Amino acid sequence: MRLSALVFLLALPALRADEGMWTFDNIPTKQIKAKYGVELDAAWLKQLQLATVRFPGGTGAFVSREGLVVTNHHVGRGAIAQVSTAKADLVKDGFTAAKPGDEIKVPGLELMLLVSSDDVTARVNGAVAPGTPDQEALKARRNALADLRKAEEARTGLTCEPVTLYQGGEYWLYRYRKFKDVRLVAAPEVQVASFGGDPDNYTYPRWNLDFALFRVYEDDKPYRPEAFLPFTQTPLRAGDLTFISGHPGTTYRGQTLAQMRYAKEIGIPFQLANLARQRGALEAYAKTSPEAARVSADAIYGISNGQKRLTGQLMGLSKPESLALVASREAELRAAVVRDAGLLTGSGGSWDKIAEAVARQKALLKEYTCVGTRGCTLFGHALTLVRIQEQQAKPSAQRLPEFSDGSLKATRERLLSPRPVQVGLDQARLAWVLREALEQLGVEHAYVKAVLGGRSPEAVAQAAYAGTKLQDPAFRKQLLEGGREALASHQDPLLVLARQLEPFQRSLHHQWEEQVQSVFAEHGGRIARARFQIHGKSQYPDATFTLRLSWGAVATYDTGSGTKAQPFTTFLGLFDRHEGWGGNAAAAEDGAFTLPERWLKAKPRLALETPFNFAYGCDTVGGNSGSPVVNLKGEFVGINFDSVLEGQGGYYVYDAATKRAVAADARAILETLRKVMDANHLANELLAK
């Protein structure tokens, strides 16, 4: 890792952002060396891999010899809420364990560490005879992967996951070590972790101290990880090259032009319209009482988050150069395929097949979307109960995906979860789900007729929630264990509704699988294989919530308003934005810009010039929340927590000019631990090498 790389970077601002979320088996180290003059050796990469852990829905990293793990506050928030009590709201007030004995175990929280992985493409493809119809091929591959997983878990005792890369161009088996004793060590107040709330989400400049510290235990003792990332003592500067190791969730960059056009013209606009109506329904419910407002807040925030992300995606896809780039790459690949008889036979027709499937996707979209439980918790439980006995009686390979051997346990756990359901909110959701069906599908649609029976959506929802007992986990357990017959005839109104939904939903699911998903899987795979044959693995696969490496420099970017975003923010700006909204006393918009009293008191002690957040050109998407950002020495410099609206088009097409991730600076974490959170011992632990 030579210092000259930095000089080089500063001189070449065009190189400030880099494309790709690369699998650790296929890091283009030569390309990195050619561009930056730095050589990432196998030991460096292994160290980073073994320090990175997967949280439910996000990423984290070992950051001390004694098993401290850092992640985003918003990734750990569910866990922090779970260990809060009526007296101690740790989400609101923050938490610091003064000594190891004060660290709070989070029941059920499990972290996963990728230990090793195998390419099983040949074995999976070997399970499919040539000429097999697409949907059967899809099932055969799923079964082959499930068998491999089962065998490998038995052999190694590790948790194994099948991974489909490159739209089916490759199949892998990833082996994870699982950590089951995870304890909360420290977290700032949510108000600081998510300062600016919904308004500032996806924006920059930003002031979010979005971190929380956990510790992994084994045998009731702090776990000593094989690898960890010490907090750096080298100040990070604009232009410095950084690396991010994490689990980006989903991207669509391998889609064909037809698929992306669909996303731009049909899919995303449809989703945005859906979200807007859903938001309207939930906001109407939230207005009915302060308690309704409180319990709806997270759901409404989630919708707003989706609206922003999709708006950013649409902005990106709508830039003429985006789809022009996709079109030219596709034309190039298709021309190369035409020149090779073997490729032509295997994948020459695949683009047209996918285009046909897109046409089917378009035709099915409205029904497939509207006929379902759509996030309504009790309706979802009801549908699970209606199906589970019949599904369990079949061989795993013939079941619906959520009842297969690999997923059944989680499905049962979800069904029996003791977590209280917000029944009022859930009823409002059901009313919305049914109203959508009525308005989008029309009063004459068979499902609408069956489920409404001439009544209004609101009346049906009201009657269902007035009569149901499904909110009681014990009742659900009783139904589950009461045998197939009893369950099949039980007249709980939500079960009755779910039975009306079931055949329609199953049929649509089947059509979607057969006419859309299996074609995308099969022919996406064929296109990927053609691409491998022509280019080798010079490209990275779409994100799949598996471990990836990206890199890029700390860098500004052009904002839409005509100025450039500063590479770093500082504590000064946190207080500027707080005071600029009038401080806690004034009407701070939605409370998004208030600060905890502890912070206002700590202000005179704080070194206000300390960097707080920074923008950097690593290629990330959701799932990279909590991912560690490291420098050339592999030291922890910050924790990723967001990326800017302007770059959300990166879900489909990467654009170096706008793709900027946002991280909380390691120095802000240390300064806060020492000066606000009374946690010098943790700051010292994080700095110890």
Asked if residues 47 and 67 have their Cβ atoms less than 8 Å apart, the reply is no
Smallest CA-to-CA distance from 280 within 264, 304, 260 is with 304
* Nearest-angstrom CA–CA distance, 41 and 621: 26
- List, as one string, the DSSP characters of 114-145: EEEEEE-HHHHHHTS-TT--HHHHHHHHHHHH
Q: Which is nearer to a copy of itself, 199 or 591 (CB)?
A: 199
Tokens 């005509």 locate to: 562
Q: How far is the CB of 476 from a copy of itself (least distance, A)?
A: 40
Sheet holding 22-23, edge to edge: 22-23, 548-553, 241-246, 628-630, 636-643, 661-665, 611-616, 568-570
Q: How far is the CB of 195 from a copy of itself (least distance, A)?
A: 12
Q: Which is nearer to a copy of itself, 6 or 70 (CB)?
A: 6
Q: Which is nearer to a copy of itself, 504 or 557 (CB)?
A: 557
> Which residues bind to a copy of itself, rule: CB under 8 A?
10, 196, 199-203, 205, 237-239, 308, 311, 556, 559-564, 566-570, 572-573, 575-577, 579-582, 586-587, 589, 593, 608-609, 611, 644-646
| Helices 423-436, 290-318: crossing angle, 10 deg rounding | 40
Structure tokens at 645: 């609206």
Q: Which is nearer to a copy of itself, 79 or 236 (CB)?
A: 236
Q: Which is nearer to a copy of itself, 489 or 561 (CB)?
A: 561
Smallest CA-to-CA distance from 244 within 651, 643, 682, 568 is with 643
Q: Which is nearer to a copy of itself, 157 or 320 (CB)?
A: 320
* Nearest-angstrom CA–CA distance, 278 and 108: 31
Q: Which is nearer to a copy of itself, 85 or 561 (CB)?
A: 561
Q: How far is the CB of 203 from a copy of itself (least distance, A)?
A: 5
* Nearest-angstrom CA–CA distance, 93 and 162: 40
Q: How far is the CB of 229 from a copy of itself (least distance, A)?
A: 25
* Nearest-angstrom CA–CA distance, 445 and 284: 27
Smallest CA-to-CA distance from 128 within 137, 117, 115 is with 137
CA–centroid distance for 74 within its chain: 12
List all residues 6 or more positions away from 216 whose beta carbon is below 8 Å from its beta carbon: 62, 67, 69, 111, 179, 181, 182, 222, 223, 225
Q: Which is nearer to a copy of itself, 238 or 408 (CB)?
A: 238
35, amino acid identity: K
Query: With 0-12 CB in 10 A as exposed, 13-18 as middle and 19+ as buried, what is 491?
Result: exposed
Q: Which is nearer to a copy of itself, 512 or 581 (CB)?
A: 581
Q: How far is the CB of 63 from a copy of itself (least distance, A)?
A: 25
